[in-house]
């Protein structure tokens, strides 16, 4: 196949993968002089005209929308009486590759990936397009760290005639929702379940169901049994549980998933970490769209009702073999209440009815008056801060950021317990900071008697990228020393 010319324009360089219904080739576009991914469709043994029409439907469905987190479709051509899809070539690796190499990914990074993918899939669902094969291998991570959903090779519009044959299953068995495993028709809620299962695999380092050599046995397990309990998902566990609810009617829709995952990613990203430099991801559109100067609205953290099947919310220190619906309900409630207790700001995208207004998780009951929230520093009535407070905070922060990229053993003890929790525990904290080369403290403005500060920071990642941000800190003192108690972008 290499060195062949497809449709008189696309020079084949090499095979780069296989999708749901065909081989993907790296080609050079002789007209525009760029590299593209070209997918031959309808080329599997024994395929009929039905499958060929199905391949053309993929092209129509995929080309019907565009999104920064979906692989772009450039062209559909006919070559040797077969349809070929010409797509954006994404240089990078798949999420499956990253999981295989790194094992469990941090809840913050997984929430960020999930929020971006859910945004793309919500757009597809608005156009009545169902992906049907969401899995780690179909999530590409580009060189900038941005995730893109790929392989709409089995995408179909809602309302299209069902085109299946006896014994033919559309999708990857390990990531099929319970209703698809039972033979029901695909719908948007099925994609939500599959994305939840993909995020489960990323944060746990394993798929929700144990691998089995017999795919029928695996489908039966998905249809009748709960997924394996989560033990590493932390604050992300209730969201995954809500996306993987056995009952499609009880699941979040994809737009809600995007908003909630974005909120979790933003909260996790405040753990003394640069938001714009989230892991290897240089772009966080959910945070950017919510970063307004509007006074925060105080709400109680929503408690995600646990699924009857899913033992999702167990704290990490709890043995994974504890069972029972009562314990599952308590665990999920504790996970949600943990978020409420932290009192950290998170931002939601402008897709929802909050219009990008930052929401502050309440530290007290929902009946607490809104005015008890800490106001935005840009509008705060500041209490006097002495020169000594200013100099002390400057010295502390410069020392902290000078040491954090070299000695996390030292800086870990400079966080309050709740900040340590938001950092994803020691493992998540170390995992993040090993990817940051250095941090420069540009400006420190202390206020409220030295208990708060607005700080300008410039982060340099280990691959050379930089980001400059302003963070709002609060501090507590212990034995005369400062501890960072909260940190948010703004």
Active site residues: 133
Please work out, in degrees rounded to the nearest 5, the angle formed at the alpha carbon of residue 287 by the alpha carbons of 281 and 289: 120
> 438 is written with which tokens?
């250095």
In angstroms, the CA 412 to CA 424 distance is 12
């Amino acid at each position: 196949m290499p060195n062949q010319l497809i449709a008189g324009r696309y020079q084949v360089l090499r095979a780069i993968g296989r999708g749901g219904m065909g081989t993907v080739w790296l080609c050079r576009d002789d007209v525009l002089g760029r590299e593209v991914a070209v997918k031959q469709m309808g080329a599997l043994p024994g395929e009929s005209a039905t499958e060929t029409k199905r391949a053309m439907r993929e092209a129509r469905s995929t080309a019907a929308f565009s999104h920064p987190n979906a692989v772009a479709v450039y062209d559909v051509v006919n070559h040797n009486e077969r349809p070929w899809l010409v797509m954006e070539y994404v240089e990078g690796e798949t999420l499956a590759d990253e999981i295989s190499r790194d094992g469990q990914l941090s809840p913050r990074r997984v929430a960020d990936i999930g929020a971006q993918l859910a945004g793309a899939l919500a757009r597809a669902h608005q156009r009545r397009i169902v992906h049907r094969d969401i899995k780690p291998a179909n999530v590409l991570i580009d060189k900038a760290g941005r995730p893109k959903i790929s392989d709409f090779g089995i995408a179909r519009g809602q309302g299209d005639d069902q085109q299946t044959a006896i014994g033919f299953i559309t999708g990857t068995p390990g990531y099929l929702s319970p209703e698809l495993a039972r033979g029901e028709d695909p719908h948007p809620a099925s994609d939500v379940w599959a994305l939840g299962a993909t995020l489960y695999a990323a944060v746990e380092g394993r798929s929700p169901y144990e691998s089995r050599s017999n795919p029928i046995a695996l489908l039966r397990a998905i249809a009748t049994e709960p997924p394996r309990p989560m033990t590493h998902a932390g604050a992300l566990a209730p969201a995954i549980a809500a996306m993987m609810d056995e009952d499609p009617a009880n699941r979040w829709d994809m737009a809600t998933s995007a908003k909630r995952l974005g909120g979790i990613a933003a909260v996790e990203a405040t753990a003394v970490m640069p938001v714009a430099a989230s892991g290897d991801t240089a772009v966080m559109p959910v945070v950017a769209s919510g970063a307004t100067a509007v006074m925060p609205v105080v709400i109680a953290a929503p408690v995600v009702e646990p699924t009857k099947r899913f033992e999702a919310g167990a704290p990490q220190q709890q043995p994974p073999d504890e069972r029972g619906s009562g314990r599952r309900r308590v665990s999920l409630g504790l996970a949600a209440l943990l978020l409420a207790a932290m009192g950290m700001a998170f931002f939601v995208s402008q897709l929802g009815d909050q219009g990008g207004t930052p929401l502050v998780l309440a530290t007290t009951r929902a009946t607490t008056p809104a005015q008890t929230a800490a106001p935005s520093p840009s509008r705060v009535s500041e209490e006097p801060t002495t020169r000594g407070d200013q100099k002390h905070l400057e010295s502390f922060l410069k020392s902290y950021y000078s040491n954090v990229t070299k000695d996390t053993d030292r800086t870990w003890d400079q966080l309050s317990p709740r900040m340590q929790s938001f950092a994803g525990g020691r493992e998540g904290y170390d995992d993040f900071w090993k990817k940051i080369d250095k941090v420069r403290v540009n400006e420190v403005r202390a206020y409220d008697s030295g208990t708060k500060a607005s700080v300008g920071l410039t982060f340099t990642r280990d691959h050379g990228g930089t980001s400059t941000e302003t963070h709002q800190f609060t501090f507590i003192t212990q034995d005369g020393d400062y501890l960072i108690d909260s940190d948010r972008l703004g």
